[in-house]
Chains A and B, each alone.
Chain A
Amino acid sequence: MDKAMRGYRQIPVYLRYLINILLLAALLALGNHLIVSGAVNRAQKAIILQIGIYALLAVSLNVATGYLGQLPLGHAGFMAVGGYAAAILWKSLPKNTGAMLLGLLLGGLVAAVFGVLIGVPALRLRGDYLAIITLGFGEIIRVLIINLPGITGGTPGLMSIPKHATFPVVYITVIVSCALIHTLMKSRHGRAILAIRENEIAAEASGVNTTFYKVLAFTVSAFFAGVAGALYAGYTGILTPGNFTFMTSINILVMVVLGGLGSMAGSIIAAGILTALPLALQSFNKYRMVIYALLLIVVMIFKPSGLLGRYDFSLTRILEKAVNGRLFPKRGKAGEDHA
C-alpha cells in the first residue's frame, strides 16, 4: 500500500461478502419472480438459461486459456462427458434436489477425471501439443458416443432426460462455480497458475511445480465444463453427439477471446452477447460463423487481450472508491489483474 493509499477507507470483509451475497440473492429472487409470474416468456427463459450455461463454459475455458495460457480445443468433449454422465444418472434416479446435486457433481467429476487423463500426457510437453491432443480427444469422445449406442443412445441421442436445470439451479450453479474459480485464482495456487502463463521457465525456476499446476488448472477447467454439460443435459432434456462438435468448442473459444483472455466478467458478458444475439436475430444466423471467424482474426490482430483484457469487475472496488470519493478519478487507472 503506497502513500497515496493511506487513509483510504476499506470496507470490512464481512460487509463485502454480505453486500455481494445480498445482491446476488436479490437478483435470484427477481429472476425467479419474473419467470414464475410469467413476465418472461418461454423463449426468453430459454435464452436466459442458455446464457447461464454458456457463461459457465466460457468461464471454465478461461481458466485454461486466459489464466494458464494454454489452448484446449476440445472443451465440447468435456462438456459431453459431463452431460452424458449426469444424464445417465438422472435417468435412473427419481427427480429431486439430491439427485440434481449428485448429477451436477458427477458430471464435473467424470469430466475432471478425463481432464487428468488428457492433461498429464499433454501438459508434460511444452508448446502446442495440448491444442492437438484436446482436439483429438473431442473427436474421440464424439466417435465413442456415436458407436456406443447401448450407453449413450448413439446418433439419435439420449432422450427424456429429467429437466433438472431450472432458473434457480442454473443461476446458483453458475454463481457458485464462478465464486470457486475466483477464490482459486486469488489463492497462492492461482498465482502459481498465473506465473506459468507469464513465463513458464521463470515460474519453474521460482519453485512452482509447473506440471502439477498446469494439470490442476486444466482439470478445474474440465470439471466446470462437465458441470456445464450436466446443466445443458438438464436444460435440453436430450443429448445428441451433434451437440458436441468441434464448432461447439470454437464457439466457446470465441466467447473467451472476445471477452478477454483472463477476465471472468469478460467471458460472462461475451457469452451473454454471443448467445442472445443469434437467437434474437435469426436472419443473422447465416452470417454468424463468418462474423465469428472475422472477429477472432480482427481481435487477435488489433486487441490480442480481448475486449476487456484482464480487467475484472469488482463491486467492492467501486464501492470503496465511492466511499472515498474517488469514483471518478482524474486519471483513469488500468484494470487490475487477478494476481
Chain B
Amino acid sequence: MLFLSQCINGLQLGSIYALVALGYSMVYGIIRLLNFAHGDVIMIGAYIALLTIGAGIHPALAVAVTILGCMLVSVLIEKVAYRPLRSAPRISLLITAIGVSLLLQNLVQLLFTANTRPYPSTAIIPAKALNLGGLSLSLNTLMTILISLGAMVGLHLLIQKTRMGKAMRAVSEDTGAAQLMGIDINRVISITFAIGSALAGVGSVLFCCRYPVVNPTMGSLLGLKAFVAAVLGGIGSIPGAMVGGFAIGFAEVLVTALGFSAWTDAVVFAILILVLLVKPAGLLGKGVAEKV
C-alpha cells in the first residue's frame, strides 16, 4: 500500500513536471532556445494567483487570470527580448534568456521582497481526502493528475488536428520552408509561447497547491527540473516531455522515500548526465544530423 501511494505521489509530481516540460519542449522545438525564463513565468503565475485571491476574487476566476497572465508575460518576453535576436548566434539568445529569467526574479523580489508567502491552496482545491478501497487519496492529487492528463490530451489534439498545430509542426521542422509556404512565422512563434505558458500557468496552480509556498526564486529549481525532464524525454518531442516528466517525478519520490531527500536535486541532474552520455537525443528524441 505504501508503494502504491508513493507511486501516486510520483504521478502527481511527474504530471506537474510534464506540464512545465511541455512548455520548454515546444519553445525549443520551434526556435531552438532553452527558455530559461519559463520557470520564472510559473513564479509570476503564483504571485498573480496570490494577489487576485488575496483581493477577494473568486478562485476559479483567479485561476483563469493566472493562466492569462502567464500567457501575456511570456508573449511579451518573446516580443521584446527574443524576437530582435531571431537571426543572432544561439549563445546570444541563451544569454538573453538567462537575463530575462534574472530580471523577472529580481523585479518580483524588489516588489514583494524575498520573503516566502503562503499560497491559498485550499481556496482553489479544498483539502478533502477520498478513500478508494483503503487507499487514501487527496482531492488535490486526483485533480492534479486528471487536469494534467486533460491538458496533455488537449495539447496533442491541438498539435495533431488543427490548422495551427500543423503550422507549428511545419515551423519546427523547417522555418524557412514554412515561411515560403505562407505561414506567418512570428504569429506561430507567439502562439507557441502562449500555449506553452498557458500550460505553465496550469502547472503553477497545481504545483503551488501541492507545495503552498511562494517566493521569487521558486521557479528556478522547478524550471530546471522540468527542463531536465524535457531533455531526458528528448527535447522538442511532446510525448518525450511527458515521459521525462513522469520519470523525474518518480525518481524524486523514490529517492525521498529511501531517505535521501537532501540528494534529490543531485540525483535528478546525475540522471540527466547519464542519459545524455548514453542517448544524447533523449529517450524519445530523434537524433538530427547537422546540415552544412
Q: Which residues of B contact A69 (CB under 8 A)?
A: 89, 91
Interfacial residues of chain B within 77-91, with CB under 8 A of chain A in the complex: 81, 84-85, 88-91
Any B CB within 8 A of the CB of A20: no
A66's nearest neighbour on chain B, judged by CB, is B91
Interfacial residues of chain B within 98-142, with CB under 8 A of chain A in the complex: 98-103, 105-107, 109-110
A138's nearest neighbour on chain B, judged by CB, is B269
Stretch at the interface among B3-11, B56-64, B186-194, B272-280: B272-280
Q: Which residues of A contact B93 (CB under 8 A)?
A: 300
A200's nearest neighbour on chain B, judged by CB, is B290
Q: Do A297 and B81 form a contact, CB below 8 Å, given A136-B273, A147-B262, A290-B103?
A: yes
| B269 pairs with A297, CB closer than 8 A | no
> Can you offer 14 A-B residue contacts whose CB atoms are under 8 A?
A71-B91, A128-B90, A129-B276, A132-B227, A140-B265, A293-B106, A296-B96, A296-B99, A296-B102, A300-B88, A300-B93, A300-B95, A301-B85, A304-B89
Q: Mark A220-254, 1 if CB is under 8 A from B, else 0.
A: 00000000000000000000000000100010010
Q: Which residues of A contact B (CB under 8 A)?
A: 65, 69-71, 73, 121-122, 124-129, 131-133, 135-137, 139-140, 143-144, 146-147, 201, 246, 250, 253, 257, 261, 286-287, 289-290, 292-297, 300-301, 304
Any A CB within 8 A of the CB of B228: yes
| A143 pairs with B262, CB closer than 8 A | yes
| B224 pairs with A300, CB closer than 8 A | no
Shortest beta-carbon distance, B128 to chain A, in Å?
36
Q: Do A289 and B276 form a contact, CB below 8 Å, given A71-B95, A128-B94, A140-B266?
A: no
| A139 pairs with B280, CB closer than 8 A | no
Q: Mark B226-251, 1 if CB is under 8 A from A, else 0.
A: 01100100000000000000000000
Q: Which residues of B contact A135 (CB under 8 A)?
A: 224
Q: Which residues of A contact B256 (CB under 8 A)?
A: none
| A133 pairs with B273, CB closer than 8 A | yes
Range of interface residues on B (Cβ < 8 Å): 35 or more
Q: Which residues of B contact A296 (CB under 8 A)?
A: 95-96, 98-99, 102
Q: Which residues of A contact B277 (CB under 8 A)?
A: 121
Give Cα A179–Cα B45 distance, bound, in whole angstroms: 49
Q: Which residues of B contact A131 (CB under 8 A)?
A: 34, 94
| B102 pairs with A139, CB closer than 8 A | no
Any A CB within 8 A of the CB of B215: no
Give Cα A261–Cα B24 distance, bound, in whole angstroms: 27
Q: Do A133 and B272 form a contact, CB below 8 Å, given A69-B91, A253-B98?
A: yes
Q: Which residues of B contact A286 (CB under 8 A)?
A: 110
A135's nearest neighbour on chain B, judged by CB, is B224
New A-B pairs, 11, CB < 8 Å, besides A71-B94, A250-B102: A121-B276, A127-B90, A133-B273, A143-B262, A143-B263, A246-B220, A289-B102, A293-B106, A296-B96, A300-B92, A300-B93
| B102 pairs with A293, CB closer than 8 A | yes
B269 contacts which of A125, A140, A250 (Cβ < 8 Å)? A140
Q: Which residues of B contact A136 (CB under 8 A)?
A: 228, 268-270, 272-273
Any A CB within 8 A of the CB of B55: no
A139 contacts which of B92, B99, B265 (Cβ < 8 Å)? B265
| B272 pairs with A132, CB closer than 8 A | yes
Q: Mark B171-215, 1 if CB is under 8 A from A, else 0.
A: 000000000000000000000000000000000000000000000
Shortest beta-carbon distance, A288 to chain B, in Å?
9
Q: Which residues of B contact A147 (CB under 8 A)?
A: 262-263
Any A CB within 8 A of the CB of B292: yes
Q: Which residues of A contact B265 (CB under 8 A)?
A: 139-140, 143
| A287 pairs with B94, CB closer than 8 A | no
A304's nearest neighbour on chain B, judged by CB, is B92
